[in-house]
Amino acid sequence: MNIMVTGGAGFIGSNLVDALQDHGHTVAVLDDFSTGKEENLEAATRKGATVHRADIRDPSAVAGAAGAVLPQVIFHLAAQVDVRRSVADPRFDARTNVEGTINVLDAARSIGARVVNVSTGGAIYGDVDTIPTPEDVEPLPEAPYGQSKFCAERYIALYRRLFGLNGVTARLGNVYGPRQDPLGEAGVIAIFCGVLERHQQPMIFGSGDQTRDYVYVADVVESLLALLAEPAARGEFNIGTGRATSVRDIIAALAPYSDRNFEPRFAEARDGEIEHSCLDVTRAREELGWTARTALADGLRRTLEWTRASSAPAAVAA
């Protein structure tokens, strides 16, 4: 199958690109490399993946890339994902996550492609009473990021009603694993792994009792492949583990890997951050046959191993 991945140079996107190629698909990547990394695509390009350097906020660029590739399916991952930036600059967030999605939908509509949209779970649902949270709970986002991603989902539903576009959304938990930037603004596990490797102390914003549904990137990729295999899938699917883990629990699990004090420091909670998030994944299990398989301890170990390998100095030839 001919497939395009927006945001394919990013953390999740590049892992997806590799898996699609392993399954025999022809893959094109659309990315502006503002956060994605060229090194994430080195293996993919050697295997024939094409790369289109473009911004999803540019409708003509998105349409041009889609018209050149003519994908049957577009996986849409390109997004602004920093909650703090969305609070500071909600207009930029909306231009990227809402207008960018509209550009992708218009391009898909023009060539008859299906869209598999990658969204967020916790940031969309907000602080709700029902935990684990199923897909039919009313979203109450606490930050512009969650609001913009929810709005993008509604545009997919609108384009189905208006134009018959085939689209579906994966609402992800807190994804972690290899290729997540340990120096980035999002991804607490990657950040803590980087802190550990630099022999520093982790910083907790708030009490540390806030919980998230941490799901390993390889499991997320498997869920997206499951959605690819179900062209009749509609609406939204929660993708997580169904288990809540606190920030303090993550630090305690990583502490044995440190050769010095790994006790956290504390700072004030940040605007837009929710307290508790955990996803009910019943629909994905029953309709897609998908379940997250990676235990948190194994995922943490693999992530830390990748962080250490990627930060090790390159060997110097004699």
**φ, ψ at 180 (rounded to 5°):** -75, 135
**Using an 8 Å Cβ cutoff, are 175 and 217 in contact?**
yes
Q: What is the DSSP string of 206-257?
A: S-S--EE-EEEHHHHHHHHHHHHT-TT--EEEEES-S--EEHHHHHHHHGGG
Catalytic residues: 145
The residues, ordered by sequence, that sit 6+ positions from 33 with a Cβ below 8 Å of its Cβ are 9, 53
Q: What is the largest CA-CA distance in the chain?
A: 65
180 Cβ neighbours under 8 A, 6+ residues apart: 11, 187, 189, 190, 217, 303
- With a CB cutoff of 8 Å and minimum separation 6, the contacts of 300 are 189, 193, 250, 253, 254
Q: Is 315 left (phi over 0), alpha (psi -120 to 50) or beta?
A: beta
